[in-house]
Chain A
Amino acid sequence: DTGVSQNPRHKITKRGQNVTFRCDPISEHNRLYWYRQTLGQGPEFLTYFQNEAQLEKSRLLSDRFSAERPKGSFSTLEIQRTEQGDSAMYLCASSTGAGGISNQPQHFGDGTRLSIL
């Protein structure tokens, strides 16, 4: 399978705990995006990486959220001191930057569903 892979698929944790999610993009894709999707809504942009550089962060991304993409390969999203409102599906997507066109098709993983008790 050469698609976008996300782990874990499900995470249940108590309020106040820290959680970390991993995304492995399609291997030749240098662009990586994180989105958050709550029930009945469309995904909302959180942050964007081009190779290892984090180039944009949404205002939705509070200081409890941090993301990394070391060496421009896989990416991690960490949430510290989780709150009830963090319960959502966290989606990762990747795309190429071929031809200098920044908005190439984005391919999504199946997400990590986070439930805060």
Chain B
Amino acid sequence: QQQVKQSPQSLIVQKGGISIINCAYENTAFDYFPWYQQFPGKGPALLIAIRPDVSEKKEGRFTISFNKSAKQFSLHIMDSQPGDSATYFCAASKGSGNTGKLIFGQGTTLQVKP
């Protein structure tokens, strides 16, 4: 049962361009939506996260856009750099008496060309 669907599977962007990764979820009880960045041989590193009381959150070059009615959220990487080349995962979890376990998307491999 795939509760979080992520697209695209892979993405190639030129240096300085905008990278956009999309996720859709099914369970309306989800109330926390983080994005993780993972380099080969490393664990996922928390990049940015949002809760559904806001529609957008920006941290540096990274922005999450959240559409509660559509049950979708996306990651925008502005001014993409070769060092951003990694695999990105969206995730979702339920709070309010639940364990907070994360349900991950399938991942997007981003390549930023110099």
The chain A residues found within 8 Å of chain B, CB to CB, are: 4, 6, 31, 33, 35, 40-45, 48, 50, 55-56, 91, 93, 95, 101-111
Contact = CB atoms under 8 A, between A and B. Distances in A.
Contacts of B41: 110
A94 B36 CA distance: 14
Contact of A108 (B6, B45, B105): B45
B43 interface: yes
B46 A103 contact: no
Contact of B106 (A6, A41, A50, A103): A41
B28 interface: no
Interface stretch (B53-61, B72-80, B90-98): B90-98
A106 B76 CA distance: 21
Interface of B: 6, 31-32, 34, 36, 41-46, 49, 89, 91, 93-107
Contacts of B106: 41-42
A43 B34 CA distance: 13
A93 B102 CA distance: 10
A30 to B, nearest CB: 12
Given A42-B89, A45-B103, A110-B43, A105 B95 contact: no
A48 B42 contact: no
11 contacts: A33-B101, A42-B106, A43-B89, A45-B101, A50-B99, A102-B96, A103-B32, A105-B49, A107-B46, A108-B46, A110-B42
Given A45-B102, A110-B41, A102 B46 contact: no
